[in-house]
Structure 1
Amino acid sequence: MAAIIDVRHVHKAFGGLKVIDDCSLRVEEGSITGLIGPNGAGKSTLFNIIAGALPLDSGQVLFDGEDITGLPANTLFHKGLLRTFQIAHEFSQLTALENLMMVPSSQAGESLFDAWFKPGLVRRQEDEVRRKALEVVDFIGLHQVRNELAGNLSGGQKKLLELGRTMMTDARIVLLDEIGAGVNRTLLGDLMGNIERLNRELGYTFLVIEHDMDMIARLCNPVIVLAQGSVMVEGTIAEIRNDPRVIEAYFGSRVA
């Protein structure tokens, strides 16, 4: 399958400390790819580089064959490359439904001219955005709290909402940064089920950083192991767990 993300010989240092060191990897379109490694391996830094939140020192990042090196996050958003965060970034004083409705860009209501002179267009677009938001809130299982302020939701519900926000765009790949962190087991099951459905039914590609190895085992194939800023090994979760290099790297440490 074609690579939707192709990271080529990326380097990144902070001062004299190398965090990403000649890192190359590919994320195949239609896959749910896991990215694991010990604390300090460079996973979040690599995520930030791919997502346009952090400049690299050298190397390239390609998105569906296009060189996106150095493009900002807002530009990548419009191309269909999105990310979530370990700590949810909801609009706490808006309802869950309103949080979803905020996502689509270039809405007519954002224009003072359209608001004054094209109210019909504004209403029609708002109705369409609301309809889609209601579909999304049903999909992610938050229908019962759709009118609750997002700041009042549980940690797990906020993670579901964050995933739902990616559905309000034409996402092609979503970078999930420890989306299971702080989520109870029941909601974690819902979260994993939604990720699988988005992948299977809507063709989303995912790149996943996650501490929960059971979650990685259920969702991800392949799994890429990052160590000291570069790829150590790539394979199925069974291959990864039985690789002597991985065992040596992780024995007695918490897998990230």
Structure 2
Amino acid sequence: MTTDLVIDVRNVTKRFGGLLAVNDCSLSVRRGSITGLIGPNGAGKSTLFNMVAGNIVPDSGQVIFDGADVTGMKPYQLFRIGMLRTFQIAHEFSQMTALENLMMVPGDQPGEHLLDTWFRPGLVKSRETAVRKKALDVVDFLKLGHVRNELAGNLSGGQKKLLELGRTMMVDAKVVLLDEVAAGVNKSLLNDLASNIERMNRELGYTFFVIEHDMDLIGRLCDPVIVMAQGEKIAEGPMAEIRANPQIVEAYFGSPAEVVS
């Protein structure tokens, strides 16, 4: 069943010992949106994000993905059904080229099976050719052609983030979870990264759920923006409304200047 909500978090709660990290929190991500999640340190946003991504199991409540209850599913299971995540620190295969990193992403390739390599070499070669073509298309889309044969470990922080974004394009992702995409990226490459996220959303229909401390980036990319504090969702709307809310600015950002810094 297709629903307008690709992610629907329903009344989730998570405790770590005596610490109530997320308290009966509900929020949603609409298909085709770039939805941001912000809040001060200790707000519970990382814990909630990790529950959506399958890294943490909620104590109660549900995580619904594309109409199905996926509460407690592991990240690799979510990957198979179209939920992909990038990380604050890029997780590249450092001794493989950028192109090879992309080609590693699609699962269940015939070349992974010994019998196929022996008895169905034509199928293996055909599939590898198709995967390579898709990887080259992704490289062209992200303008990474000049480093496609460079070892991924030698790429800059921003290029590694672009490569992670490219890996999400190698499969049919229904939603991409972006975790602190601006971390460790210089302003020039950050602009390229943001432009590519916008293009993926606009031209290819990707849905993004973004957790980020860079308010300028959130303001550029995201609508709506969800604000969490003390384990609960306290506001949702366009960034202009969030910035203009004196109560949110004073209570959770300290001063208006910090919101736009």
Taking structure 2 as the reference length, what is the TM-score of the superposition? 0.95
**Shift in alpha-carbon separation, 1:137–1:206, aligned structure 2, 3 A:** same
Q: Secondary structure at the match of 1:200?
A: helix
Cα distance between partner residues in 1 of 2:230 and 2:12? 13
Q: In the alignment, residue 141 of structure 2 is paired with which amino acid?
A: F
Cα distance between partner residues in 1 of 2:32 and 2:45? 21
Q: In the alignment, residue 159 of structure 2 is paired with which amino acid?
A: Q
**Which residue does the alignment assign to 1:72?**
74
**Which residue does the alignment assign to 1:104?**
106
Deviation at 1:161, TM superposition (A): 0.2
1:127-206 aligned at under 5 Å gives the runs 127-206=129-208
Are 1:63 and 2:65 matched, yes or no?
Answer: yes
Q: Secondary structure at the match of 1:44?
A: helix
Cα distance between partner residues in 2 of 1:148 and 1:56? 41
Which aligned segments of 4 or more residues in structure 1 are displaced greater than 4 angstroms? 252-256
Deviations, residues 51-74 of structure 1 (Å, cap 9, x unaligned) = 111111000010121111111111
Cα distance between partner residues in 1 of 2:242 and 2:75? 32
Q: How many residues align?
A: 256
1:105-120 aligned at under 5 Å gives the runs 105-120=107-122
Cα distance between partner residues in 2 of 1:173 and 1:62? 13
Deviation at 1:211, TM superposition (A): 1.4
Cα distance between partner residues in 2 of 1:87 and 1:162? 10
Cα distance between partner residues in 2 of 1:232 and 1:122? 52
Deviation at 1:129, TM superposition (A): 0.4
Unaligned runs of 5+ in 1: none
Cα distance between partner residues in 2 of 1:254 and 1:139? 35
**Which residue does the alignment assign to 2:239?**
237
Cα distance between partner residues in 2 of 1:80 and 1:44? 21
Deviation at 1:141, TM superposition (A): 1.4
**Which residue does the alignment assign to 1:250?**
253
Are 1:7 and 2:9 matched, yes or no?
Answer: yes
In terms of mean alpha carbon deviation, does 72-81 or 245-254 score higher?
A: 245-254
Unaligned runs of 5+ in 2: none
User: Which of 14, 20, 23 is matched with 2:22 structurally?
Assistant: 20
Taking structure 1 as the reference length, what is the TM-score of the superposition? 0.97
Query: Kindly, what percent of the aligned residue pairs are identical?
Result: 67
Q: In the alignment, residue 211 of structure 1 is paired with which amino acid?
A: H
Q: In the alignment, residue 169 of structure 1 is paired with which amino acid?
A: V
Cα distance between partner residues in 1 of 2:178 and 2:186? 17
Q: In the alignment, residue 118 of structure 1 is paired with which amino acid?
A: R
Deviation at 1:244, TM superposition (A): 2.5
Cα distance between partner residues in 1 of 2:91 and 2:37? 22
Deviations, residues 117-148 of structure 1 (Å, cap 9, x unaligned) = 11111011001000000010111111000000
**Which residue does the alignment assign to 1:82?**
84
Cα distance between partner residues in 2 of 1:125 and 1:131? 10
Q: In the alignment, residue 95 of structure 2 is paired with which amino acid?
A: Q
Cα distance between partner residues in 1 of 2:50 and 2:9? 13
Cα distance between partner residues in 1 of 2:213 and 2:89? 14
Deviations, residues 73-106 of structure 1 (Å, cap 9, x unaligned) = 1111111111100000000000000000000000
CA RMSD of aligned residues (A): 1.4
Deviation at 1:20, TM superposition (A): 0.7
